[in-house]
Each structure stands twice: as structure tokens, then as C-alpha cells.
Amino acid sequence: MSPVVEFCSVSKCFGSKLLVDNVSFKLNPREITTLIGQNGAGKTTIAKMILGLEKSTQGQIKVKDNMKIGYAPQKLDFNFNMPLNAGSLIDILAPSRIGKEVSELINFADFDNIRKVDISELSGGQLQKLVLAGTLMNQPDLVILDEPTQYLDVTSQQEFYRLLKQIKETTGLTVFLISHDLFTVMKNSDQVICINGHVCCIGKPNEASNNLDFKNALSEIGFYVHSHDHVHNH
Amino acid sequence: MFIIISVSILIGFIFAPLGCLVLWKRYVYFGDGLAHASMFAGILSGMLGLPVFYSGLLSSSLFAFTIFKLRNNSGNSAAIGLTTSIMISLSLVLAYSYPGQVNVTKYLVGDIISASMEDIKLLFFILIAVSIFFLSAYKGLVLMILSKDIAESRGVQVKFLELTFLAVLTFAVLSTIKIVGALLVTSVIVIPAMIARIIAKSPVSMIGFAILFSLMMNFIGAISSFYFDLPFAASIILSGGFIYFLLLLIIHFKKLSGKTSH
């Protein structure tokens, strides 16, 4: 199957600073691809280039035509003064709630209990769950999730990845994740891309424990591997 | 009296939704800067014999251009603060230099008696523009306020919406500056939205309540201005302030009575 997104030698400069350097990769349909890297490595910029929010300075980005792309950003800086309850937020994020997984996503976000609560009164985790649920309920073909579980507790993280995999299997969703949580990445991704401005390594997650290049790449971006799938921050 | 009541109603319908957006986007500081910079428009109008609307376009373009150039160095708030102060100072110096031609007080406090049928026509035109803007862009606006990135990823033209909003806000402020005055126009815009924020549960209900409170405030302001010869904007704001604190008191006592009954 042809890739959903393809980066061909893409570079991006901000002023004189080269943030993304000659990056090439493919997002295959029905796969979860995770981008890992240090802060400032260019992860969010790559996500924004897929969305068309940033233009590349060099190279070519091919995105499959007529695709519905969902996006849950890293910063949920809902710094506004608007009265909006959880129900209205979901109405905005997913105007036509479709698909079999809606009820499961509603349970995941604990929607029935917080439906009438103003979002300013929700915790970071509750808000993140709502945004994730709303993004997925809108049934995108490709979803880009920037640090989707940073405010979630361990149980919620597990539940989220279980749901994500289930939705991927039933709907053919392609997922592009940005994450720092390497343990979860290794467990749930089909493809991992290590980036530090340039692409350090691309591969299947289980290569981490065997492949020296992969270990070196992880080490370059600030992690080390010392046994099967046990990855730690420095 | 017909003109005064008509102007009050039109201002209410125009400013209430704009005030909600100003509050949601935390643009109060920008609105305040714009209003004070528009005093410069009044001074230019007096000096050059231009209609205040056209001199306003000139002054607001100068205001926006200066902020645009300064904000990368000093940040938005500092750029707005500095530009506003410079334009007010320039206005005062010009007014001092040409005392016979320019009446600063007129543009600072405004005067509802100066409203004419021409103003009603202009305000009606702006009301149509505001209505079209909100009806056509409501969902995009709410999404943009939630998150610019999410909005852009769903095809909302965020920059176009922001520019359109600022243009509509600028025209609305400039069109009412001689009636409401530069000193208090931001409060006339924002206070109804602030009152509505206390009780509204959704963006739409907030706009509805803001229109209701704006009409109440403007009506009280117009009547007291006409019969007791009080400044129009000051009367509006005092009545708005009264409603605001009354509502807070009611809610406070409601909460107290709720606690004691448990």
C-alpha cells in the first residue's frame, strides 16, 4: 500500500537556524508511527509540516489527497475566558460523532460525569482525555497526536493506547505520535523514528534491544537501553 | 430622542458580541490601546477638516503598523503600551499647539447629542458587518479561541479571521468615538460581556446575555444623558458597573443561602 505521508529530504529553517535537516520517512497506512527526540529536536515542526501549518524550506512532503487529518496539539493552553462545558467542547471537536468506538471514547473521557462541567474546572488529564476523545470521535484517516499522554495517569495511558489500537484495527486509522514516553512507545508503535534535527534512526521498536544503530540513536537523543525494551531517560 | 435611542440600541447590538470576543481572546488591552489611539483620529479630523472616520483609518493603520513593527522586539503588551502612549502624547501636543481648532475633551468623553442620521446609517452598516462576521465564522472563531493549531489543522483561516475581527472592531470603535469618547469606549464594549460571563454557560448564551445587558446599560445611559445632561459613556458604564456588582451580590447571597439550607 502506498504511504499516507512521505517526507523526501525535507529541511526547515527558522531564520538562520536549521531545525529540521534533510529528513526522509514514510507513514504507512494502518500503522502507529512514533517520533521521539529531545526537546527542540523538530518533532512538533514535522507534525505541523504534515498538517500544512509550516512550509518546508527544502525537500518535498507528499500527503495523500482528500484525507481527513485530526490533530491534538501538545500545548492545551486553553488560556481564554469563554464559558464552555465539556459537552460543547466535544460538539466542536467532533460535530458528527460517528463510528462504533464513540461509546468507548465517551467512557474513556468520563464524559457522562463531566458533560456539564466548565472546561476551566477540569484537570489537565481530564481535558487531555476530552481533546483526544473528541479528535478520535471525528473519525480522521490520519491522526497526529503530540505528546498525547503527558497529563494522563498510568491506567489512563494504557486505556488510551488500547483504544487507539482498537480504532486503528477497525477503521484503518493511521497514527502519527510524538512522545517522550519510550517504554509506551516501544510497546505500542509499529515504527519508531528517532530524530535530533536529522533522522538518527528509523525502525521497528523491537530492534531497540538488538540493533546497535538504534541504541546509538536513542543514546544521541538522550536515552539509553540496557536490556529488552527497558529504556530510561538519562 | 429617536436618534439617541436608535444609536443606543445599535451600539448595544454591535458592541456586545465584539466585547465577548475581546474578552475571550483577552484583547482588552488591545481594544483599550486602539480606543486611546483613536483620539489621535479626532485631533487629525479637527486639524485637517477630514471626517473622523477617515482620519480614524489613518490613525488606526499607524497604530497597527507601529505595533506590528515593535512587537518582535518588545512583545505585544509593551508594543501596545508604548504606541498608545506616543499617540496620546502626540494628540495632546497637537491639541495644545492648535487650541482653536481642536477640542480634546470632545473626543475623550464623547457626546450622544452629536449623533446624527448619518451615524445611524453607518452604525446600521457596521451591525450588518458584525452579524455577517459572527454568523458565518462562529464555529471557526470558537475553534480558533480554543486552539489556533487545531483550528488551522481543520482548515480555519485563523489569520484572516483575526484580521477581519480587528478590522470590524476598529471600524466599530472609530464610528462611535465621537459619541462614546476614547476614554471609556473599551469599557462600553467589555462590561456587558463581563456581566454576561458571570451567568452564561456557553458562548452563544454569553453573546445573548451580553446583548441584553448592553441594551439595558445603553438605554439607562441614553435616558440619563438626555434628561439629566450627563456624559453618555459615563452613564452607561455606571449603570453597567451597578448591574455587575448587583449580580455578584445576588450570586454571593444565593451561594450563602444554599450553604445554610444544607
Residue with cell 478590522: B167
Are A71 and B23 inside 8 Å of each other by CB?
no
* CA B261/CA A169 separation, integer angstroms: 53
CA distance B142 to chain A (A): 8
- Total count of domains within chain A: 1
Phi, psi of A100 (to 5 degrees): -70, -20
Q: Cell for A208?
A: 531497540
Residue B224 CB neighbour total at 10 angstroms? 18
pLDDT value at A63 more than 80: yes
pLDDT top residue among A211 and A3: A3
Contact A48 B149 (CB under 8 A): yes
Whether B156 has its CB under 8 Å from any CB of chain A: the answer is: no
Q: How far apart are CA B142 and CA B93, in angstroms?
A: 42
CATH assignment at residue A111? 3.40.50.300
SS (H, E, C) A139-175: CCCEEEEECCCCCCCHHHHHHHHHHHHHHHHHHCCEE
Whether the CB-CB separation of B222 and B5 falls below 8 Å is answered with: yes
pLDDT in tens, A103-160: 777 878 788 888 889 888 888 888 888 888 888 888 889 999 988 888 888 888 888 8
**B143: region left, alpha or beta (phi > 0 left; psi from -120 to 50 alpha):** alpha
For residue A93, which residues of chain B lie inside 8 Å, CB to CB? 150
| pLDDT given for residue A220 in this prediction | 66
Q: Is A60 helix (H, G, I), strand (E, B) or coil?
A: strand
Q: How confident is the model at residue A10 (pLDDT cuts 50, 70, 90)?
A: very high
> Under an 8 A CB cutoff, do B202 and A76 touch?
no
- The reported pLDDT for the residue numbered A149 is 84
Strands of the sheet containing A174-178, edge to edge, are A69-72, A142-146, A174-178, A32-37, A191-196, A198-203
What's the confidence (pLDDT) of residue A49? 92
Chain A interface includes B206 (CB < 8 A): yes
Q: How far apart (Å, rounded) are the C-alpha atoms in residues B95 and B103? A: 7
Question: Per-residue confidence at B19, pLDDT binned at 50, 70, 90?
Answer: very high
- Asked if A188 and A159 count as a contact pair (C-beta separation under 8 A), the reply is no
Show residues of chain B in contact with A82, CB under 8 Å. Answer: 23-24, 142, 145, 203, 206
- The band of A234, judged by pLDDT with boundaries at 50, 70 and 90, is very low
Check whether B113 has a pLDDT greater than 80.
Answer: no
Distance from CA of B176 to the nearest CA of A (A): 26
DSSP label at residue B114: G
Chain A residues lying within 8 Å of B149, measured CB to CB: 48, 51, 53, 71, 73
Supply the pLDDT for residue B152: 87
Cell of A80: 481564554
CATH class of B2-261: mainly alpha
For the record, the C-alpha cell of A185 comes out as: 512507545
Residue % of chain B over a pLDDT of 90:
19
Residue A101's domain comprises 5-233
A43-57, A210-224, B228-242: least confident range: A210-224
Chain A residue numbers touching B26 (CB-CB < 8 A): 79-81
**Phi–psi pair at B74, nearest 5 degrees:** -120, 0
Q: Is the complex ipTM more than 0.85?
A: no
Contacts of B19 in chain A (CB under 8 A): none
Tell me if B149 and A71 make a contact (CB, 8 A cut-off). Answer: yes
Q: Give every CB contact of residue B205 below 8 A, 6+ residues apart in sequence.
A: A83, B196
pTM score: 0.79
Interchain CB distance below 8 Å, A79 and B26:
yes
A53 contacts on B by Cβ (under 8 Å): 149, 152-153
Residues on A contacting B at a C-beta cutoff of 8 Å: 48, 51, 53, 69-73, 76-85, 88-89, 92-93, 118, 144
CA-CA distance, A165 to A184, in Å (whole number)?
A: 13
10 Å CB burial of residue B154 (0-12, 13-18, 19+) is: buried
Letter for the amino acid at B199?
Answer: I
Q: What is the count of residue pairs from A and B with beta carbons less than 8 Å apart?
A: 60
Name the residue in chain A with its Cα closest to that of B138: A92
pLDDT tier at A57, thresholds 50, 70, 90: very high
**B151-159: long-range pairs with CB below 8 Å, 24+:** B152/A51, B152/A53, B153/A51, B153/A53, B153/A69, B153/A70, B153/A71, B153/A144, B154/A71
pLDDT over 60 at A230, yes or no: no
Best to test chain B binding among A84, A88, A146 (most B CBs inside 10 Å) = A84
Contact call for A80 and B146, based on CB within 8 A = yes
pLDDT digits 0-9 by tens, A15-33: 888 888 889 999 999 999 9
| pLDDT for the residue B261 | 64
- In this predicted model, what pLDDT tens digit does every residue of B188-233 receive, in sequence order? 889 999 999 999 988 999 999 999 999 999 888 888 878 888 888 8
Domain ranges of chain B: 2-261
pLDDT tens digits, B151-179: 888 888 888 888 888 888 888 887 887 78
Q: How many angstroms separate the CA of residue A73 from the nearest CA in chain B? A: 7
In the predicted model, is pLDDT for residue B1 greater than 70?
A: yes
